[in-house]
């Protein structure tokens, strides 16, 4: 019986050290940036926050270090309507760190130290078995150990919990894991890595989606940057354009999309409407700096959408 929180997110927590520069340094080159900030991030935490702020009933399975950053992240997550009961504090380890450069076009490059995120073990996942079984959906990414992602997907599948995988950052995945996923949300690069099909247009997006359907995934959403999203539901494909805004920083745009998407799906919105809701959330996020500081609240998403009609 589905009695626990409606959504469980499993994933990473990082402190993002963000440096804004006019352009990325070349190998061997040193450049001075014009702005530096530390903000909370991590794909898992960003998606959990996006779900919480957009209105989901959400619990987060994750790990922080036993440091000041970990304590502050936990406090902030609670303010963002995230149940942190399943966030473990790992003794003797540091909270994950991401080092991020943002260039003048709002693009970013990221290097990560996993820290406590690497301690999220299959045993920890098994300890949250009833929580996953009781949830209506499980949302995951790939900044956590793959054996733990697999363990969570197996528990979800045996209890009819909808499994949503945002396969970022790009990693090779087993067919065993992919067969347990109900909805997958790669970007073009990740889709190519998973399928071998270079996604350049709607036709190649449809081809890549079919490869993922053949691996057992019912719903494929390939995010196409400014061109929107290719939605393929059981092989029925269509492109759903996003909203045009002036981007200042795309960090966590994809995470915001995923968190808001699952909120909308759990509210019973049809996929096309859920994607439009998620597009709106991501459009707001790219107009703001940082990862979690950029994630909008529900009122902001509703107001944005109301202005489009």
Q: 207: part of which helix (H) or strand (E)?
A: helix 202-214
Contact between 41 and ligand RIB (CB under 6 A)?
Answer: yes
CA distance to 18, 210, 282, per residue, from 266 (Å): 33, 25, 18
Q: Does 251 bind ligand RIB (CB under 6 A)?
A: yes
What lies within 8 Å, CB to CB, of 86 at 6+ separation is: 8, 59, 60, 61, 62, 128, 131
Q: Does 62 bind ligand RIB (CB under 6 A)?
A: no
# residues near ligand RIB by CB under 6 A: 14
Of the candidate spans 23-31, 251-259, 260-268, 296-304, the one that interacts with ligand RIB by CB under 6 A turns out to be 251-259
Is-cis flag, bond preceding 169, omega within 30? yes
Establish if 252 lies at the interface with ligand RIB (CB under 6 A): yes
Structure tokens of 192? 């190519």
Half-sphere exposure of 297 (CA within 13 A, CB side): 4
> Residues 108 to 127: which contact ligand RIB by CB under 6 A?
110
Nearer to ligand RIB, 18 or 224 (CB): 18
CB 240 within 8 A of CB 231: yes
Least Cβ distance, residue 109 to ligand RIB (angstroms): 11
Does 143 bind ligand RIB (CB under 6 A)? Our answer is yes
Asked if 84 contacts 58 with a C-beta cutoff of 8 angstroms, the reply is no
Question: Is 43 a binder of ligand RIB (CB under 6 A)?
Answer: yes
- Active site (catalytic) residues: 255
Closest CB to ligand RIB among residues 42, 242: 42
Question: Does residue 63 touch ligand RIB according to CB under 6 A?
Answer: no
Give just the sign of the alpha carbon dihedral 261, 265, 266, 267: positive
- Identify the sign of the CA torsion 120, 121, 125, 127: negative
* Residue with smaller CB distance to ligand RIB, 253 or 271: 253
Q: Which of 7, 16, 260, 262 binds ligand RIB (CB under 6 A)?
A: 16
Binding site residues, ligand RIB, CB under 6 A:
12, 14, 16, 41-43, 46, 98, 110, 143, 251-252, 255, 291
């Amino acid at each position: 019986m589905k009695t626990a929180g409606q959504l469980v997110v499993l994933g990473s927590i990082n402190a993002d050290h963000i440096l804004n520069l006019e352009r990325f340094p070349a190998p061997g080159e040193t450049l001075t940036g014009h702005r530096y900030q530390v903000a909370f991030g991590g794909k898992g935490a960003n998606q959990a926050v996006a779900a919480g702020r957009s209105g989901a009933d959400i619990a987060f399975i994750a790990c922080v270090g036993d440091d000041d950053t970990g304590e502050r992240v936990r406090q902030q997550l609670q303010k963002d309507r995230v149940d942190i009961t399943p966030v473990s504090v790992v003794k003797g380890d540091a909270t994950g760190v991401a080092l991020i450069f943002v260039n003048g076009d709002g693009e970013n490059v990221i290097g990560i130290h996993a820290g406590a995120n690497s301690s999220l073990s299959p045993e920890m996942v098994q300890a949250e078995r009833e929580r996953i079984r009781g949830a209506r959906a499980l949302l995951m990414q790939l900044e956590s150990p793959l054996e733990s992602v697999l363990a969570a997907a197996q528990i979800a599948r045996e209890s009819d919990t909808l499994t949503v995988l945002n396969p970022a950052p790009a990693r090779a995945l087993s067919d065993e894991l992919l067969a347990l996923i109900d909805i997958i949300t790669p970007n073009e690069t990740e889709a190519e890595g998973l399928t071998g099909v270079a996604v350049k247009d709607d036709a190649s997006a449809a081809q890549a989606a079919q490869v993922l359907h053949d691996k057992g995934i019912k719903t494929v959403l390939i995010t196409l940057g400014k061109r929107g999203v290719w939605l393929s539901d059981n092989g029925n494909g269509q492109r759903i354009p996003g909203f045009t805004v002036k981007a200042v920083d795309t960090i966590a745009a994809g995470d915001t999309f995923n968190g808001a998407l699952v909120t909308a799906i759990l509210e019973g919105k049809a996929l096309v409407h859920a994607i439009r809701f998620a597009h709106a959330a991501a459009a707001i996020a790219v107009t703001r700096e940082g990862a979690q500081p950029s994630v909008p609240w529900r009122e902001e998403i509703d107001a944005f959408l109301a202005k489009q009609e």
